[in-house]
């Protein structure tokens, strides 16, 4: 899938402000790109993940939204570079994709 196609389907986890009853898991900045990750959890399980991205980088938006979806489904935060790159295998700028993945990893402390 291409990033543009993913975004066209709709980003489900993007927020402008910290949602009520969520806590900030972490944030990271690289150049003009910044991401903040918020989670809602019960005990040891992640119930929901929301992201705030300050620069509207389509790659960062799509990857962060996908990570949020995967994490919600698994009940834990997980960033698997191979899985993400395989999902977006139609993208050509792999270096930029990896850079955005690393930014998300920095935000969640992995």
Select from 2, 19, 28, 4 the least CA-distant residue to 88: 2
For the whole model, what pTM was predicted? 0.93
pLDDT value, residue 87: 98
Taking only the tens place, the pLDDT of each residue in 8-40 is 999 999 999 999 999 999 999 999 999 999 999
pLDDT value, residue 24: 96
Residue 110: alpha-carbon gap to chain centroid: 13
Q: How many CB atoms lie within 10 A of CB 7?
A: 15
Domain range summary for the chain, segments of one domain joined by +: 3-108
∠ Cα 12 10 79 (to 5°): 55
Select from 66, 55, 78 the least CA-distant residue to 5: 66
Taking only the tens place, the pLDDT of each residue in 41-89 is 987 889 999 999 987 799 999 999 999 999 999 999 989 999 999 999 9
**Structural tokens at position 70:** 């995967």
Query: Considering only the top CATH level, what class is 3-108?
Result: alpha beta
């Amino acid at each position: 899938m291409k990033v543009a196609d993913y975004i066209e389907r709709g980003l489900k986890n993007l927020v402008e402000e910290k949602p009520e009853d969520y806590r900030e898991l972490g944030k990271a900045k690289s150049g003009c790109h910044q991401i903040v990750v918020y989670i809602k959890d019960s005990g040891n399980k992640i119930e929901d993940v929301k992201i705030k991205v300050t620069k509207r980088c389509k790659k960062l938006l799509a990857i962060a939204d996908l990570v949020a979806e995967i994490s919600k489904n698994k009940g834990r935060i997980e960033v698997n570079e191979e899985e993400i790159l395989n999902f977006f295998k139609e993208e050509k700028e792999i270096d930029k994709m990896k850079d955005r993945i690393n930014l998300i990893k920095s935000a969640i402390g992995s």
